[in-house]
Chains A and B, each alone.
Chain A
Amino acid sequence: MLKNNARQLTYLEALREAMQQKMRADNDVYLIGEDIAEYGGAFGVTVGMLEEFGSERIRNTPISEEAIIGIAAGSAITGMRPIAEIMFSDFITIAMDQIANQAAKICYMFGGKARVPMVIRTAGGGGTGAAAQHSQSLEAIVAHIPGLKVVMPSCPYDAKGLLISSINDDNPVIFIEHKLLYKNKKYTNSVPEEMYEIPLGKGDIKKGGSDISIVATSYMVQKSLEAAEKLSLEKGIDCEVVDIRTLKPLDIDIILNSIKKTGKLICVEEAPVFGGFMGEVVAQVSEKGFDWLDAPIKRVAGRNCPVPYSLVLEQEMIPGVERIEKGILDLLG
């Protein structure tokens, strides 16, 4: 990991910088979405971009998710490189025809004669008390659809490099950001000023270790790191934390290599456990890495219910450090 630059950015600043640099370099890149202009986006990611790029390229729309995605896809096949913002990932469901039946399928259906270079940036996850319709983690739904790449950065450094790669990619990318990462100073890290790419399809070892492999996505990577640190201090357990980073394409090798070393796997995700993305990870590991496992795989994930409002219930639904720790201790016996 390039870490020669001392400049610390938040996740949100890293995302913004990626877009600004790409937009300065390539006139075909533009933004489309709700409240992204003078308001700067519901979470403030696009603040200041209207002033720099003007309303031609920072295209504020009415509340029309289906049209936002359709327009992005249509402009993408005809020469533009749109970045569409869907305010909450829950609302990709409103645009699902345009995502799943149109954008995802065009390249294949047209025999490879058209490309759809577009990014759908959207804020996922809970923990904000926004309840059932504004807190979901829907990555498994999109990852299931052939023709979509799915990216979930867990830190500012990854956010910038992965977003630049996503914009440069000639295919539709669903780029799921986490609301609790945007402004959190606890999770800043050093981000190079220049443009750089992190290839889609490459996971990352966020912390090396030899006793157990924790595979996680997005905000759960941060929670897993906290659990790993606690266990190391309190119990001398040496966890390896693997950040999947891109769900699709999936870097299964980084996971297999990790369990070769540790023999144990725990998968952590925020989405409800039933049908969650980690089910795919577990299936691939049992097909390709069974021999290296010396204990059953464990999943720590969201409970099988919509995300509740009340803080006490929300904390019960979404895994936190304690549940991850407990999962690890249970697995280690």
Chain B
Amino acid sequence: MSKKLYKDVNGYKIEDRFTGLSNDLKIEMLRKMYEIRHFENEAEQFIIRGMIHGTCHLYTGEEATAVGAICAIQSDDYITSTHRGHGHCIAKGADLNIMMAELLGKKTGYSKGKGGSMHIADVRSGNLGANGVVGGSIGIATGGALTCKMKKNGKIVVCFFGDGAANQGIFHSSINIASIWDLPVVYLCENNVYGMSTSVKEAFNIKRISDRKYAYGIEGLTIDGNDLIEVFNTISYFAGRCRTGKGPVLVESLTYRWSGHSKSDAQVYRTREEIKEWKERDPIKRYREILISRKIITEKDDSDLEKEVMNKIQKASEFARESPFPDPSEVEDDVYA
């Protein structure tokens, strides 16, 4: 089947690979977005009830970027994530029970309670980890891509990072090396308008973060990160390009975080109107409406799906609450030096 041209941006002839997907896959993407949304709602409840010892950065409102991008790559490809990592982790196929347990610092969590929200990794599913250091994963992603190239295993890496991270030195030095070595990385900048309280307007003097591609001699563009189909098609296209040895790309995904930056944030730096405007561009609502209008699901299917997901989240929450805390004697386990 010849693929329809989806978009011609900056000369990129991005094909529509979404339309040809099976209905199951299309619905799976909606399910994943619901999982993220409701996982974050439950995490927020934990925060409110004082059950999270540390902090949590919620991904609510940004679901389409993680799900669209991760569904566009192979299940054995790698990703690197950020402090706002729950969405990437879920999209990559992590177990919700084990994730939730980690948030509560339980022994049954991904890091046996040692990492918490900011350090969930699921190496088995190719998730090389959330990261507490802004920009910290950009080098790791680039190294992962070097492995892919040296082992010629055909895999690629999707490196998620925020707009804030794009101003760290490691962004520059890593992307430059990836460019000169043609490493298979999709650098995916989630521009959610703020890095903590600092707006992108304040932190950049360029219109588009993706314009930095010119400095490294690589390809890239800016997309609507709240449009799952656009994310999926773009990342499919660029992942394919990476896989053929054409080097890294820089994609900027425009989105917005609905919640405060972390556990405590009075949000003095933005207005209610702005938040409201962005909530109207809810990525889940947009995608659900498309599926309904294309008769892939009915309203009822949709609400059944959401209920099913909510149940699953409740089960995960119970599992986490009922799990034991680690024993203090485990504190030096996994220490080798």
Given the complex of chains A and B, what is the CA–CA distance between A312 and B328 in angstroms?
Answer: 6
- Minimum CB–CB distance from B170 to chain A (whole Å) comes to 8
**Cβ A133 vs Cβ B133 within 8 A:** yes
Q: Which chain B residue lies CB-closest to A132? A: B119
Are B167 and A64 closer than 8 Å at their CB atoms?
yes
Residues from 92 to 117 in B contacting A, C-beta threshold 8 Å = 102, 105-106, 111, 113-116
Q: Is B132 an interface residue (CB 8 A)?
A: yes
- Give the residue of A38, A90, A308 whose beta carbon is less than 8 angstroms from that of B197: A38
**Alpha-carbon distance A65/B167, docked complex (angstroms):** 10
Report the bound CA distance from A36 to B24 in whole Å: 48
| A residues in contact with B268, CB < 8 Å | 38-39
Q: Which residues of B contact A37 (CB under 8 A)?
A: 197
Contacts A63-B195, A64-B168, A130-B54 given: A310-B116 contact, CB under 8 Å? yes
Are A133 and B132 in contact (CB-based, < 8 A)? Answer: yes
How far, in whole Å, are A65 and B136 apart by their CA atoms in the complex? 12
| B2-10, B278-286, B329-337 - the one binding chain A | B329-337
Chain A residues near B332 (CB, 8 Å)? 303-305
- Minimum Cβ distance to chain A for residue B257 (Å): 15
| Size of B's binding interface in residues, CB under 8 A | 42
CA distance A34 to B197 in the complex (A): 9
In the complex the two chains form, is B113's CB within 8 Å of A308's CB? yes
By beta carbon, the residue of chain B nearest A317 is B331
Contacts of A42 in B (CB 8 A): 196
For residue B269, which residue of chain A has the nearest CB? A38
Q: In the complex, A314 Cα to B331 Cα: how many Å? A: 8
Given known A-B contacts A130-B54, A131-B118, A133-B132, A313 and B113 have beta carbons under 8 A apart:
yes
* CB nearest neighbor in A for B104: A310
Asked whether A35 is an interface residue with its Cβ less than 8 Å from the other chain, the reply is yes
Q: Is A251 an interface residue (CB 8 A)?
A: no
Minimal Cβ-Cβ distance residue in A for B266: A39
On whether A39 and B113 interact (CB within 8 A), knowing A60-B202, A63-B134, A309-B54, the answer reads no
When A and B form their complex, which 9 residue pairs have the shortest distance between CB atoms, in order from nearest? A129-B54, A310-B105, A129-B53, A309-B116, A310-B113, A133-B132, A39-B197, A62-B167, A316-B328
B residues within 8 A CB of A314?
Answer: 53
Interface residues of A in 264-294 (CB under 8 A from B): none
**A168 interface residue (CB < 8 Å to B):** no
Within 8 A of B (CB), among A82-124: 90-91, 94
- A sample of 20 inter-chain contacts (CB < 8 A) reads A37-B197, A38-B269, A39-B197, A42-B196, A62-B167, A62-B195, A63-B135, A63-B168, A64-B167, A129-B105, A131-B54, A132-B119, A132-B132, A304-B335, A305-B331, A305-B335, A306-B335, A308-B113, A308-B331, A311-B325
Residues from 34 to 59 in A contacting B, C-beta threshold 8 Å: 34-35, 37-39, 42
A298 beta carbon closer than 8 Å to chain B:
no
Whether A131 touches B132, Cβ cut-off 8 Å, given contacts A305-B335, A313-B113, A317-B331, is: yes
In the complex, what distance in Å separates the CA atom of A134 from the CA atom of B325? 21
Question: Does B144 interact with chain A (Cβ within 8 Å)?
Answer: no
Q: Are B202 and A309 in contact (CB under 8 A)?
A: no
Please determine whether A132 and B115 come into contact, CB atoms closer than 8 angstroms: yes
Minimum CB distance partner of B164 in chain A: A63
Confirm or deny: A184 has a beta carbon within 8 angstroms of a beta carbon on chain B.
no
B328 A39 Cβ-Cβ under 8 A: no
Chain B, residues 173-203, CB within 8 Å of chain A (1/0): the string is: 0000000000000000000000111100011
CB neighbours of A312 from chain B (8 A) = 105, 113, 325-328
A62-B167, A303-B331, A312-B325 known; A129-B55 Cβ under 8 A: yes
Contact of B197 with A35 in the complex, beta carbons under 8 Å: yes
Q: Are B331 and A90 in contact (CB under 8 A)?
A: no
**Is B52 part of the binding interface, using a Cβ–Cβ cutoff of 8 Å?**
yes
Which residues of chain A come closer than 8 Å to B53, judged between CB atoms? 129, 309-311, 314
Contact residues in B for A308 (Cβ distance below 8 Å): 113-114, 331
Tell me which residues across on chain A come within 8 A of B102, comparing CB atoms.
Answer: 309
Q: Tell me the complex Cα distance, A209–B216, Å.
A: 64
Docked pose: A63 CA to B164 CA in angstroms = 6
- In the complex, residue of chain A having the shortest beta-carbon distance to the beta carbon of B103: A309
A134 to B203, CA, bound (A): 23
Q: Is the CB of A315 within 8 A of B119?
A: no
Question: CA separation between A72 and B48, bound complex, in Å?
Answer: 39
Pick the contact of A313: B131, B133, B167, B331 (CB < 8 A): B331
The answer on a CB contact under 8 Å between B133 and A309 is no
Contact between B132 and A134, CB atoms less than 8 A apart: yes
Bound-complex Cα distance A129 to B131 (A): 15
Query: In the complex, what distance in Å separates the CA atom of A309 from the CA atom of B105?
Result: 6
Rounded to whole Å, the gap between the CB of A41 and the closest CB of chain B is 10
Interface flags for B34-60 (1: CB within 8 Å of A; 0: not) read 000000000000000000111100000
Instruction: Tell me if A226 counts as interface (CB < 8 A to partner B).
Output: no
| A residues less than 8 Å from B135 (CB atoms) | 63
A66 within 8 Å of B by Cβ?
Answer: yes
CB–CB B331/A316 < 8 A: yes
**Cα distance A282–B119 when bound, in Å?**
36
* 19 additional A-B residue pairs with CB within 8 Å, beyond A90-B133, A133-B131, A310-B105: A35-B198, A38-B269, A39-B196, A39-B268, A62-B167, A67-B169, A129-B55, A131-B114, A131-B116, A134-B118, A303-B332, A305-B332, A306-B114, A308-B114, A311-B53, A312-B325, A312-B328, A313-B105, A313-B331
